[in-house]
Amino acid sequence: MKFRTDLAIENKEIYDKENQEEKIEIKGVEVETDHYEGAVDITRIKITDEHGSKILSKPIGNYITLEIDSAVDGSEEIKEKAAMALSLELKRLIKFHSQLKVLIIGLGNDKVTPDSLGPYTVAKVKVTRHYFLMYDTDSDNEISCVSGFIPGVMGSTGMETADLIQSAARIAKPELIIAIDSLAARNVDRISTTIQISDTGIAPGAGTGNMRKQLNESTLGIKVIAIGVPTVIDTKTLILDNLSGFLSDPDGAEAYLDDNGYQMIVTATDIDQVIKDFSDIIANGINITLHPGIYS
């Protein structure tokens, strides 16, 4: 893949484009689209075998994309519809039962705005595990037993983020981990419109270029759902992508950039508001899903 992106839907778009067809069938890739209340477009990509995995450069599993128009600085109504749609999609991957033990992880660095989605979201999720520790709780209550953890980044802790997460998991003993993280996209517009849900695990710190441990169901023995929002764009991606219809020799252009160009990562100028609005939407979507007895 020429383009750096964390979004399965962008890999699919690139593949479609390179193959000159609107929407091509790929063996090992199932695609389904949906729509929620005139506000949210949903694309469910399921990679079912190694062939599909290789074509889309992503592990086997589910990748659900929500595209929301005008979420940033938009009305509370749009944000509530987005949270409802997110909750409906989460319920496809999560089997809720009363007292479900969930550990919510907020990846990233709360001091760097484009990397702060995870910490901000976890701060807004309803954490309940300590009530279960401290009081007798009515098991009929439709709430989950939720812990929250903000591990920080290696540059601030000096420790492997994956190790810290595993430690928290040993304390909270969750049946399910939900990790929230900032992502990279190739299309700047996605910064203020897109949420991706996947069930293939996480590799904390991958965005910083450090090789990192994979955290997923096979390494942890616990299902790991990742929820991400694109917050950064690689400038090489940005450049090649914007001129893709113009350049006669894109490979030459890329080689030229590699030799002469920047490898800077950039972000949107309204990133403060993006983080505020999307952390609201994601925390809400999680609260509705895990605590139906309180939030619905």
Site residues (CB under 8 A) for a copy of itself? Answer: 111-115, 122-123, 127-130, 133, 145-150, 152, 154-160, 163-164, 167-168, 170-172, 188-189, 232-233, 235, 238-239, 242-243, 245-246, 252-253, 256-257, 260-262, 264-273
Closest separation between CB of residue 26 and a copy of itself, Å? 27
Which residue, 13 or 270, is less far from a copy of itself as judged by CB?
A: 270
Q: Is 217 helix (H, G, I), strand (E, B) or coil?
A: helix
Which residue, 43 or 128, is less far from a copy of itself as judged by CB?
A: 128
Cα pseudo-dihedral 275, 276, 279, 285, rounded to 10:
-130
Fill in the amino acid letter for 104.
Answer: I
Which residue, 86 or 125, is less far from a copy of itself as judged by CB?
A: 125
> Token match 């441990």: residue?
213
| HSE of 212, CA atoms in CB hemisphere, 13 A | 22
Closest separation between CB of residue 282 and a copy of itself, Å? 17
Closest separation between CB of residue 264 and a copy of itself, Å? 5
Q: Which residues contact 177 (CB under 8 A, 6 or more apart)?
A: 102, 103, 104, 105, 165, 169, 215, 220, 222, 223, 224, 225
Which residue, 164 or 177, is less far from a copy of itself as judged by CB?
A: 164
What angle (nearest 5°) sits at the alpha carbon of residue 179, between those of residues 143 and 265? Answer: 150
Q: Is 229 helix (H, G, I), strand (E, B) or coil?
A: strand
Cα pseudo-dihedral 273, 274, 276, 278, rounded to 10:
150
Which residue, 122 or 224, is less far from a copy of itself as judged by CB?
A: 122
Closest separation between CB of residue 60 and a copy of itself, Å? 31
Which residue, 34 or 160, is less far from a copy of itself as judged by CB?
A: 160
Beta bridge partners of 43: 33, 65
Which residue, 61 or 114, is less far from a copy of itself as judged by CB?
A: 114
Closest separation between CB of residue 191 and a copy of itself, Å? 9
Beta bridge partners of 153: none
> Token match 């430690």: residue?
167
Closest separation between CB of residue 248 and a copy of itself, Å? 9
Burial (CB count <10 Å: 0-12, 13-18, 19+), residue 206: middle
Closest separation between CB of residue 137 and a copy of itself, Å? 13
Return the closest-CA partner of residue 32 out of 95, 94, 96, 92: 92
